[in-house]
Structures are given as C-alpha cells and as structure tokens.
Structure 1
Amino acid sequence: MKKSKVLIGLVLLMSALGLAAQEQIVIQQDEQAEQIFAEGVIFYRNRDYAAANEQFARLIEPGRGHQRLSAALIMHARTSYLLRDYKAVEQDLRRLIRYFPESRYIPHARYLMALVHFQRADYFQSARQFLWLVDFSDDDRIAAESLTSARVLLDEYLSLDDVKKLQRDTAGKNGLALVVLAEARKLMQEREAGAAAELISEFLEKNAGSTLEKELRAALDRTKEALREVTRIGVILPLTGAYATEGKAMLDGLRYAEDEFKRNNPSGPAFEFVVRDSESRIIKALQEMQALVADPRVICVVGEFENFITAALAGLADAHDLPLLAPVATDVGIAGLGSSVFQLSPDLETQARALARYAVDSLQLKTFVTIAPQDEYGRQMVDAFSAEIDSRTRTDSTSIVTQRWYYGVPENIGRQFKEIREIAFKKVMEDTLRERHPEFVGLDRDSLWTALNEAIMLENNTREGIVELNSHFPVTNIDGVFMPIYAEDVRYLARQLTYFNLKTQILGGEYWYLNNLDKLRELQRYVDGTIFVSSYYYDPTSLAYIAFRDAYRKARGRTPERWELTGYDAARAVLHTLEKGAASRKQVREILAGGEKIKGRANLIHLDPRTRTNTEVNILKIDRTVIRKVDTPDGG
C-alpha cells in the first residue's frame, strides 16, 4: 500500500468522522482483557451479538489501554452495526483512528463506515468509501466485497451527475475504472454512445494495467456497436378500436414521411419506427409505453390520439426522460406534465386566445356572448376566450355580456337565446338611459324594463314583449357570439341564432371545420361568414397541396386528408431532430425545446421553449362552400 494514498484515505475517513487531531493512549498488557475478548469472540461466532457487544464494550471503556483495544474497538463497531446502533459505530471508529492511525483494522473501519452511510441512504459517501477500498485495502476479501458493493451503488443508486463527481474524487486506478464503466453505462442509457466511447478510450490511454481492462474494452466495443445501431422511434396509435380509422390514417401519413425522408437522404441517419397499437384503450397504451421506455434504443415516442390517454403516457414518458410528441392532444396542461412532453397541436387556450385577439384587433368587435357545451372542451375554450377579452377591457373597452351553457344535443335551447335577447335589450335600455340621465344609477331598472315592454306590447297590439318579438326586434348590440361547439351541434345552434334574430358575428372553434360544405346547402346560409380557429388547415386547391397529394396518391394509393397530414407533420417534427444530429433522448428534447419552426402540411409547428406547446394557429372563414384562411396581424 502506498503510504501517501493511505494518508489521503485516513484524512477522508477522519473528516467523515469529524476528527480534528490524533491522540495517543498508553497500551499495557492486560490478561483479563484477553479473556474478556475471547469470550466476546465466542458470543460473536454464536451470533449472540448483544452479548458480544457487552463484552467488547467492557474493553473500550474510556482511559483503558491494553493489547486488545484496537481489535475490541473494531469488534464493538461490528456488533453495534449488527444491532443497528450506527452512532456507536461512528464513535468506535473515531477512537480507532485517533488511537491507532496505522492499524491493520483501518480497512475494516472504512468498510463499516461505508455500510453505515448506506444504511443512512448517503449512497454517494458509501460509494466513495468502497471505491477507496478497491485499490488500497490490504485485505483482499474486503477489496473484493468493496468492488461488488461499489458496482451496485454506481449502477443502481447514483445518478449520472453523482458518478461524474466520484470520477473527480476517486484516486485508485481500479476504483476509477469502476466509475468510468458506470458512467459509460449511464451515458448509453441516455443514448450518448459517442460520449461513452470517448470516456472509456481516454481512460484506457491514461491508465494501462487496470484489472478491469478487459471489461473496459468489452464496454468500448458495445459503445462502438451502438453507434452503428439503428435509432428507434416509438409510435403509439389506435390501430384498432373506436379510433382505428383516424389512427390508421395518421400511421399512413407517418410512413409516407419516413419513405420520403429516406429517399431524399440516402446517406442520412439510420432509423426505424416501432409501431404499437393502443387499441383505443388506456391500459394497453401504457403497457406499450412501458416497453418502449425500457428500450434504450428508443429516443422518442409519437402518440397518442385521445387527450386523456396522451396525458397518461406523458407522465410515464417524463418519469423516464423519454420525449413524447403528442400530435393531436389539445387539452390545456398536457405539455406542462413534464419537460419531455411536447404538444404539436396548439392547445385550446392558445386557440381561443388567438381567436379573441383577432376578433378585437382585426374585426374591431367589442361585446361578446358565449354559448358552449357544459363539458371540458367547452369550459377550456370559453375560459381562455373570456380571459383574453377581459384582459383587453381597459385598453379596448371589451366585455363578455353573458355566458350560456347547454347539455347534450342542443335541439332546442330557446331559453338560453331568450335570456341573451333579454340581457342584450336591457343593456340597450341601460346604455341609453346612462347617456341621457346622470341620475340613472338611482333608477329602478326592473320597473323601467317592465314599462318598456308594456309600451312595446301596446304599440304592436300584442301580448308579447320585446324578447319574444324576434322578427320585429333584432339584437344588434352584441358584436360577436363565441360558440365552441361540436360539428354535429352546428346545425341546431346556427339555425336558432338566426331564428332568435341575433345580428352578430359567429366565432367558433375547430369543430366548425365542416367537410363537404357544398353538399350542405340548407345549412350554408346559417353558417356563411363564420370565423373560427383551427389547429390545422390545408387548401385543397393550392398548387403545393395538389403536388403533394398526387405524389402521396402514387406512393400510398389514397388521398391525404386531415389525419394523414397530421401523421406526416408529427413525423416531420421527429425527422427534424434527426437532421439536426439527435441520437439520444436528451438531444431530441433539447432540439425540440429550441423553438425552431418546423414546416408541416397541416400546420406550421412552432413550439414555445417555455410551454413546449405549438403556438401556431389558423384563423379561418366559411365563405359560402369554401373554407379560407384569413390574414392576421401576426401573419398566421
């Protein structure tokens, strides 16, 4: 053992035990001590550790110096450890170092201290002690056991950052080799095969003759082989079950993007899509995700289709630092579940706020009402739209006049429309009186409203008030009605909006993206001019789309529509990271979080580095039988 290394080890151990200086003790021959020690050893061998501990405790009483003191200290420490009295272990080892700094029991002391650190869950310090013993213990058995223990700690208990710190702290060649092997394994798990190969190669160049050299060279071969392996990209989609049609269409678009990329980049990075069927079930999706997470060759996953399944996958993916690219999910907060989660579609809050800004800034609308289904989709859209309008109240005098909700199929929600009419007419009355009568605040508004209705009924010779006289009195003081409703609900609400004579701009959400408008002639006059927000848009008459469509038809034998284009765009986002050199989960995450714009076919993907959600939306307008994209101030 090198004396300088032993001294370094003693300094570390003394520091761990809180020792400041050495102290001498007078050793005298003591026959009674020999007998007591022998009795203690017998109890120890018979596994009566409490009795053994009592015997050894008699030998280490303060001020008692004899030929068995160092052995008694280490044996009392051992039995105290077995009895889980870790404080006593520390006290014994502290005295051993103080009295006998060059004792042959020092390696035993360090081994015990490593075990105490482990029991206290201080795995870093435990590994530090074991690594020292690997190289500098005179006891081959302790060195071998320390090597095994250090390997377990490095692989199972310590993070990559902890292992890197140990590399700087470890002095011995074989202990350092263990650290390098562990760091390389962890880098391989992060898909950092290049960094792992460089680390091992550098160690071998500087540290020839390590007893672990054969293992190091085998690890180096594995890293080189990994560099030649095909990168895997997981895909979880509903290929059977309730959403099989949509899932299969998305997979077809993804496959087309894969073929296109490989055709255009024959010498590009080797990769493959590993496709798994969620069967439209959350449990199956999670099972497939677990398998992908466990495969170190998988650098990211694309999936799923439904919001709640995507959210479940997001939690699992982020727990293992595996990037998840959600191509469809729009619920607010999914990307917020972890730094490895990316929403390729703008979430509902982003969409609703963008529409509200357009309504105020470009359409110059001031007053709004909302009508929406009483569910999660309707609530998220209305909350975000209203929040944006409320934030503009001071600068733009905007306001939400009222909000109305419905359940189920809105075949007849006349009550809600009558309430809107009444609120609107009361607002006209109050605004008029406020301008003409300074004392308006003190007036009885209910009485005024009753008087107004009586006058109208008398004038029109009818028993119906202004609210019921739809054809006679249109509502003109509501600038916009925001209706984030489902496609199947449009025919009910659009007609009733006209029937109740609300002269207002219709604003909607993505489900207003009505297919085959040319065949819905009866509905056209009710929805014409509607402006709505969408996460996707493609112009079927544009030359760019026609060229893409024809190439797609030739290659895949089908026409690309919404879900094919969505799958294509998701693939393009992944392939963008490969083009940038991504070969690990970490690199995929860093590139996606970089904020670069990725051009897709259904939408531009521009992930906010902070929220990891796509910020690009499409403001669209129904123009008779065609859906057109409108110009926005930000060029969207």
Structure 2
Amino acid sequence: MKTLSTLLFLLLFSTHISGEIYSQKAETLFQRALAHYNQDNLSDARDRFIELIEQHPPNQRTSAARFMLAKSHYKLKAYDQALTAAIALQHYYPRSRYISETDLIIGDCYFHQHQIYNAATQYARVLTSRADIRTKARAADRLSQLSGSEKLPDSEVENLKTDFNRAIIDEAIAFGKAHWHIKLDDLEKGNKYLTLFLDHHPNGQFAVLARQILISSSQPTPEPGPQKARYKIGVIAPLDTPSGEDLRNGITLARDRNPLASHDQVELILEDSAGDPIRAARAVQRLVEERDVLAIIGALTSAVTTPIATMLSAQKVPLVAPTASDDGIASLSPYIFQVNATPGAQGRRIAEHAVNKQGLRTLASLASRDDYGQSIAREFATRAEDLGAEVLIQEWYEPGTTDYRRQFERIRIAGLALQAPDDLASAIDSLILGNIRVAPPPPVVVDPDTVQLEVVEALDGILIAGGAEDILLIAPQFHSALVSSQVLGSDGWNHDEVARDGGNYVDGAIFVAKYYDQSHLESVQNFVNAYRSRFGKEQNIVAALGYDAMLSILHGINAGGTTRDRLREHLETLTDIPGATGQISFGKGHRENAWMYMLTIRNGRIEPYQK
C-alpha cells in the first residue's frame, strides 16, 4: 500500500501537463483574421481562423479563434459548420469566456435549421448561466419572439419553465417583449411595456437594465460634434466593436462634460482602425495631413498603438494612448503619453507597498511566462531588492497551465531553506547540557503516507501575477502547498468572479489595479453616474480610460496647449488631475500615468485595502 501511494505521488508530480503556450505567430495570424472579419471578408477570415486552429499548437488565441470561426461560418450562412465549430469550442474549452456567446450561436443555428425547441433550449441555458446581463438580454429577446408563436407553442414554453426555472423564463419573456419595441424604435410603446415589466419584476435580473433603457430612451439624442471647431482631436479605434464603442463613449462624455475655459469648441474626428495596424497607420496620415488635428487618442490595443506612436513621434503630434498597456510605448518619444498602467508599473507599485507598507522582507513570485507576467515579475523583483528586500525565487508558468504543483514545490524548497533545520535544536541542547549524557528516545515507526508537510513560514510574501482564470486555478493549489505568506497580486485579481468564486483561497490577497468603480473618489462616482445617465448602461475600464485620455488633452489646452508642441509641454506637467479612473499625472521622462489603487478581497468582495 505504501509503495503504491508513493508511486502515485511521484507520478502526479512527474506527469507533464500540456498547456497552451504564447505564440507571436498565432497572435499575428489572429489579428489578421480578425481584420478580415471586421471588413466582412468572411471567407478569408474563416480560412485564417482554421489555419490558426489546425496548424498551430494550442495557444493564447485558440479558443478565441474557435469562437470567431463559428461566427464566420454563421455570417456565411453555413449553419452546419457554425454549429460544429461552436460545439467544438465548448468541448475543448468548457471554461472559456465565450461559452455564453457560443450558446447563442448554437441557438441561432438551430433556429435557421428549423429546430425551434432546441434553439429555445439554448437561449434558456444562457438565461440560467453566469453570462453578463447584456448577453442574457439578447437571449431574452430571441426567446420572447419564439414564445407563443406557432413555432414554439405554449406547451413547449411550459416544458422550458419546468426544465430550467419558471420565474427566470417568465421574466425573460416579459422583458424581451417589452425590449423588442425599443429595438424597433417604437419608444412610446417600449417605455410603456418596460414600465409594466418593472411593476411585475421590480427585483428581477433584468430590472436594472430595464431602468437604464428607460432613462436612455427618455433623453434626446446628443448632437454630433461641432463642425467649425477651433480644436480637432483625432480618435483611432475599432469603432464597431463593443470596446471601441465604450472608448468612444468615454471620450465623448469627457468632451461634453468639460467645456474649455475659452468656450472654444472641440471636434472629435473618428477613424475606424478595425483592429488593423495598417488601417490605423492610414488613419494617422489622414488625420495629420488632411484634418490637421491637434492630437490623437488611440488606439485600443498595444499592437496597434505602437506603430502609430512611431509615426506620430516623427511628425511631432501628441498621442494619448488610453488603453495600451505594453511597457515602453511612452518612451518612444516625448510626444507619447500612456493613461493606462503598464505591467512594469504594477510590479513596482506592489513591491513598494509590500516592502514599505507591509514590511515584507523575503519574497517570491509566480507569474505567467508572457510579456505581461514577465514584466510585472521583473520589475517587482528589481524594485523590492532596491528597497532592501530579498526575492528568493521567481517561478513561471505557460499560459493555459492548469497544474502548478511543480512551481509551488520549488517555492516550498526555497522557503524551507530559510527555516531553522531540525538539528539546530539538538546543537543548542548540547551547549546547554554540556557533558551530561541523555539517552535518546526509542525510535518511532512512522507511516510516510500519514506525514504532514511542514508549513513554510519563512516567506513573507508571494506575488501571483496572471489572468483571472489562472488565479482561480492557482489560489487553491497555493493553499494546498502550505506556504504561509501574504499573497500579492496584479490587476488580474481585480475581477468580481475572482472574489466571488475564489472563496477563502483568495480572501486577504492584496493587489494593485488601475480602475475601481466603487471608489469613494468624487471624480470616479461623477463619471460612473454620468455614464449611466448618458448611455443607459454601466461603464467599464475602457470607457474610463477613454474619458481620462480626453480629459488630459482638455486640461492641456486650458493650460495653454493650443499648438502641438505647447500641448506636449503642458501634458508633461499635468499633476493629480481628478479623473474617471482616479488621478492623472504625467511628467518629463515619466509619461505613464502610474497612479493605481491598492485593493484587497474580503468575504467575497473587492474593497480598498486599509491597514
């Protein structure tokens, strides 16, 4: 029995767990495929997504490629192939962020194949899942259109209520029927039915969304930007994507809520990059040469922002990058400013907190082996050691890893090396007793299968840097490793699902984050409320960063930045400007806005850290 247990133990630790890897080739291919999709070159997009899936090992883009392949097939009306691709995604990636969206695609495919009850079942599955409320609203819209029709008779609706949840299905159908009038621009009837819906379901899962839609539909549509404005600001983003819309909303809201002291008008000139660096480069050329913009805000991703930053540096046009987070973008030129926190800045900030505020002296780290994780861990170690701490060990994992026991075993070994060995107590006893001989106790037979691992107490803190899905896998395995350390983290911890689903394993972790919409800062709450009132939905970090990018430019103009060179000079002097994310500060040689929150998790909720 002992031998079998030992063999199983060794087997578990020696087994290679094949996880996804980071592949730059796959990333490039995915971005090209996505650009084709956004330009409605669906056949080319489909072929490149297939190439990525079939010819590259599992990587950071495989699940997204499978999802986009299903969407490409669907838009090409190849419903059988779309269904196959969607089901394959759910089979290979059951924890993918795209699962709920995939359920919608499967339902839509069934609908076009005239399998109506199967379609309705998929929509009901979304309604009872953990999908976000907007995705559930889309499922409700679809189910309400089927309900009561000849295609889905009352008897089958009753079956859905029995199989899933009667209250959820009833509410979804009622909401969908009311919402449908809004989608048809029949605002009078839509508002009437939404009001009736709220009377019957005041605390339902769609109640908040219904109120937001009522507020939004009762407000006049905002006028477009001024046509004869003194200042022109270019915006480059994938405008037809949800993130592109959020960014544009944040920028527009900042412009409209913060008029210039001179009362001059500011025009926003929007250019759609479709996530393609080449289209973004052409947009830069048009904005600079034809529209004579004062500055540009963009783009959404670091992969698109970096090449346009290089172009604008040569043309000496200020670029305020709202969301790009790669290290080094701002260092390309004095004309480049980053509003988002870079991974390196996160690493330095959490190190300063750990050493200066927590008094931690012996540290370790576990981070993903990609640009994000390597940058955070590298800067964490450098800054911590500059402050007098010691980083004993840095461990890494490939993106997609699910088993972290080997990494934690090496961290345990490093920690145990600092703890007093067992023979130290014997040596001390020998000094105390002198030449007195004490007979040793008789040996005790110990079953190795029952021996408890020694708790590692010599490590003061450990940085765990990765994405939300990684953290939910790492946290319980760290707990099992019996390392008693303060857990530190990056912005990957700043997700409600980490706090909610991580349970006791994540409780007490301290981490940095760029955005916290529950902040008590007045500027943050003003933004949150204004965004909800203006757009009828909740804000997010992309909208907040867009707001702060525009706000930075407006402050620069108010300070005298009426030309490109003078705007650059004044942007470099911005200090502690209250914004949507918190505070905005730049400086000469420090054109990254490194202001961040220090947060923690307590009882399943994210909250500001207070010692």
Larger Rg: 1
**8 Å Cα contact 1:256/1:556 also seen in 2:** no
Q: Deviations over 1:86-138 (max 9, x none)?
A: xxxxxxxxxxxxxxxxxxxxxxxxxxxxxxxxxxxxxxxxxxxxxxxxxxxxx
Q: Deviations over 1:559-611 (max 9, x none)?
A: 22322212111111111122223221111101101243321111211112222
**8 Å Cα contact 2:229/2:264 also seen in 1:** no
Paired position in structure 1 for 2:602: 623
**8 Å Cα contact 2:297/2:322 also seen in 1:** yes
| Alpha-carbon distance change, 400 to 460 in structure 1, aligned in 2, over 3 angstroms | farther
Higher relative contact order (CA 8 A, sep 6+): 2
Tell me whether 1:591 sits opposite 2:591 in the alignment. no
Which aligned pairs between 1:268-283 and structure 2 lie closer than 5 A? Answer: 268-283=263-278
Q: What is the distance in 1 between the residues matched to 2:587 and 2:521? A: 29
Equivalent of residue 506 in structure 1, options 468, 475, 487: 487
3-state DSSP of counterpart to 2:496 = coil
| TM-fit CA distance, 1:275 | 0.9
3-state DSSP of counterpart to 1:581 = coil
Q: What is the distance in 1 between the residues matched to 2:290 and 2:427? A: 75
Q: Deviations over 1:130-169 (max 9, x none)?
A: xxxxxxxxxxxxxxxxxxxxxxxxxxxxxxxxxxxxxxxx
Equivalent of residue 446 in structure 2, options 457, 461, 468: 461
Paired position in structure 2 for 1:358: 353
Which aligned pairs between 1:94-105 and structure 2 lie closer than 5 A? Answer: none
| TM-fit CA distance, 1:297 | 2.5
Q: What is the distance in 1 between the residues matched to 2:406 and 2:277? A: 39
3-state DSSP of counterpart to 1:560 = coil
Paired position in structure 1 for 2:401: 410
Q: Deviations over 1:443-471 (max 9, x none)?
A: xxxxxxxxxxxx9xx8671336xxx95x5
3-state DSSP of counterpart to 1:309 = helix
Amino acid at match of 1:622: I
3-state DSSP of counterpart to 1:272 = strand
| Alpha-carbon distance change, 344 to 547 in structure 1, aligned in 2, over 3 angstroms | closer
**8 Å Cα contact 1:286/1:313 also seen in 2:** yes
Amino acid at match of 1:420: I
| Alpha-carbon distance change, 478 to 268 in structure 1, aligned in 2, over 3 angstroms | same
Tell me whether 1:259 sits opposite 2:256 in the alignment. yes
Amino acid at match of 1:340: Y
Equivalent of residue 325 in structure 2, options 320, 330, 335: 330
| Alpha-carbon distance change, 502 to 282 in structure 1, aligned in 2, over 3 angstroms | same
| TM-fit CA distance, 1:433 | 5.0
Tell me whether 1:247 sits opposite 2:244 in the alignment. yes
**8 Å Cα contact 1:234/1:298 also seen in 2:** yes
Paired position in structure 1 for 2:368: 373
Amino acid at match of 1:463: P
| TM-fit CA distance, 1:386 | 0.4
Amino acid at match of 2:417: K
Q: What is the distance in 2 between the residues matched to 1:327 and 1:475? A: 42
| TM-fit CA distance, 1:251 | 0.9
Tell me whether 1:576 sits opposite 2:567 in the alignment. no
**8 Å Cα contact 1:484/1:511 also seen in 2:** yes
Could you tell me which runs of 5 or more consecutive residues in structure 2 were left unpaired when the two chains were aligned.
1-227, 429-439
Which aligned pairs between 1:38-437 and structure 2 lie closer than 5 A? Answer: 230-240=230-240, 244-262=241-259, 268-295=263-290, 297-393=292-388, 398-429=389-420, 433=424
Paired position in structure 2 for 1:492: 473
| Alpha-carbon distance change, 524 to 543 in structure 1, aligned in 2, over 3 angstroms | farther
Q: What is the distance in 2 between the residues matched to 1:399 and 1:545? A: 37
Q: What is the distance in 1 between the residues matched to 2:424 and 2:299? A: 56
Q: What is the distance in 2 between the residues matched to 1:511 and 1:250? A: 21
Equivalent of residue 509 in structure 2, options 518, 521, 530: 530
**8 Å Cα contact 1:621/1:630 also seen in 2:** yes
3-state DSSP of counterpart to 1:283 = helix
Q: What is the distance in 1 between the residues matched to 2:448 and 2:422? A: 26
Paired position in structure 2 for 1:607: 586
Q: Deviations over 1:399-434 (max 9, x none)?
A: 111111111223112111112222222331469859
**8 Å Cα contact 1:608/1:615 also seen in 2:** no
| TM-fit CA distance, 1:373 | 0.8
Q: What is the distance in 2 between the residues matched to 1:280 and 1:335? A: 20
| Alpha-carbon distance change, 312 to 354 in structure 1, aligned in 2, over 3 angstroms | same
Q: What is the distance in 1 between the residues matched to 2:301 and 2:595? A: 21
Q: Deviations over 1:337-373 (max 9, x none)?
A: 0111111123222221111111011111111111011
| TM-fit CA distance, 1:627 | 1.9
Equivalent pairs: percent with the same residue? 28
Amino acid at match of 1:291: R
Q: What is the distance in 2 between the residues matched to 1:432 and 1:460? A: 20
Could you tell me which runs of 5 or more consecutive residues in structure 1 were left unpaired when the two chains were aligned.
1-227, 438-454
Paired position in structure 1 for 2:529: 550
Q: What is the distance in 2 between the residues matched to 1:459 and 1:305? A: 65
Paired position in structure 1 for 2:463: 482
Superposition TM-score, scaled by structure 1 size: 0.55
| Alpha-carbon distance change, 432 to 565 in structure 1, aligned in 2, over 3 angstroms | farther
Q: What is the distance in 1 between the residues matched to 2:244 and 2:421? A: 54
| Alpha-carbon distance change, 597 to 295 in structure 1, aligned in 2, over 3 angstroms | farther
Q: What is the distance in 2 between the residues matched to 1:325 and 1:422? A: 46
| Alpha-carbon distance change, 571 to 435 in structure 1, aligned in 2, over 3 angstroms | farther
Amino acid at match of 2:289: A
Paired position in structure 2 for 1:79: none
3-state DSSP of counterpart to 1:477 = coil
**8 Å Cα contact 2:370/2:399 also seen in 1:** no
Higher mean C-alpha deviation, range 621-630 or range 479-488: 621-630
| TM-fit CA distance, 1:534 | 1.5
Amino acid at match of 2:234: G
The CA RMSD over aligned residues, in Å, is 2.7
| TM-fit CA distance, 1:266 | 8.7
**8 Å Cα contact 1:317/1:324 also seen in 2:** yes
| Alpha-carbon distance change, 545 to 576 in structure 1, aligned in 2, over 3 angstroms | closer
| Alpha-carbon distance change, 460 to 371 in structure 1, aligned in 2, over 3 angstroms | farther
Q: What is the distance in 1 between the residues matched to 2:444 and 2:279? A: 68
Amino acid at match of 2:288: V
| Alpha-carbon distance change, 362 to 523 in structure 1, aligned in 2, over 3 angstroms | same
Q: What is the distance in 2 between the residues matched to 1:554 and 1:297? A: 33
Q: Deviations over 1:163-207 (max 9, x none)?
A: xxxxxxxxxxxxxxxxxxxxxxxxxxxxxxxxxxxxxxxxxxxxx
Superposition TM-score, scaled by structure 2 size: 0.57
**8 Å Cα contact 1:231/1:297 also seen in 2:** no
Q: Deviations over 1:48-103 (max 9, x none)?
A: xxxxxxxxxxxxxxxxxxxxxxxxxxxxxxxxxxxxxxxxxxxxxxxxxxxxxxxx
Count matched residues.
Answer: 371
**8 Å Cα contact 2:523/2:580 also seen in 1:** no
